[in-house]
Amino acid sequence: MTEEFLQQFRAASRKYSDSSIFMHEAIAKKAGLSGTDHKYLGLILQYPSITAGEISKLTGLTTGAVTGLIDRLEKKKLLKRQFSKEDRRKVIIIPNMENSMKLLKPLFDDLQQKTQELISTFSEEELSVIKRYFTEAAVIMQEMSDHLNKK
């Protein structure tokens, strides 16, 4: 692998990352959310329920920042709080999938279609390599986030 190839790969990766941020900011704005609230909502939607403490651990956000996030998303009826019967200090977050999809799905439909068209141009072997890269790169980024959040 040449240095020139590595530089081109890094440039493509950086452009992908930047484009992803810009696109998600635009989607968030259209949905009436901040970019970070939009991305954290996406994280929360992956769970049938999650505690505020778990959100804090996953994201590295302070408990105060998580409370603000939950307040903003609850106000838009995208999730609701429930207090644990065993421990009233424990807040359980229940995403409102229906309202969230009503808000976000129309904004993602075109992206999904174009992404599917792009994916169909790759072989399963090529997609397997791309998937491996994303999977392993995500682990590296999570480790880096965890390391930086500890300091």
Assess if residue 134 is contained within a domain: no
Assess if residue 78 is contained within a domain: yes
> Could you tell me which residues are beta bridge partners of residue 92?
51, 82
Specify the CATH number for the domain of residue 54.
1.10.10.10
Q: pLDDT at position 39, please?
A: 93
Assess if residue 101 is contained within a domain: yes
Assess if residue 85 is contained within a domain: yes
Supply the range of the domain harboring residue 77: 15-120
Assess if residue 111 is contained within a domain: yes
The fraction of the chain above a pLDDT of 90, given in percent, is: 83
Read off the pLDDT band of 91 (50, 70, 90): confident
Read off the pLDDT band of 87 (50, 70, 90): confident
pTM reported for the whole predicted model? 0.82
Nearest CA to 51 out of 91, 88, 96 is that of 91
User: Would the pLDDT of 76 be above 90?
Assistant: yes
Assess if residue 9 is contained within a domain: no
Assess if residue 150 is contained within a domain: no
Query: Could you give the number of structural domains in the chain?
Result: 1
Burial class (CB within 10 angstroms; exposed 0-12, middle 13-18, buried 19+) of 69: buried
Reading the block at residue 29, the tokens are: 């704005």
The per-residue pLDDT of the chain, averaged, comes to: 93
Assess if residue 91 is contained within a domain: yes
- 3-class SS of residue 80: strand
Nearest CA to 61 out of 130, 145, 140, 136 is that of 145
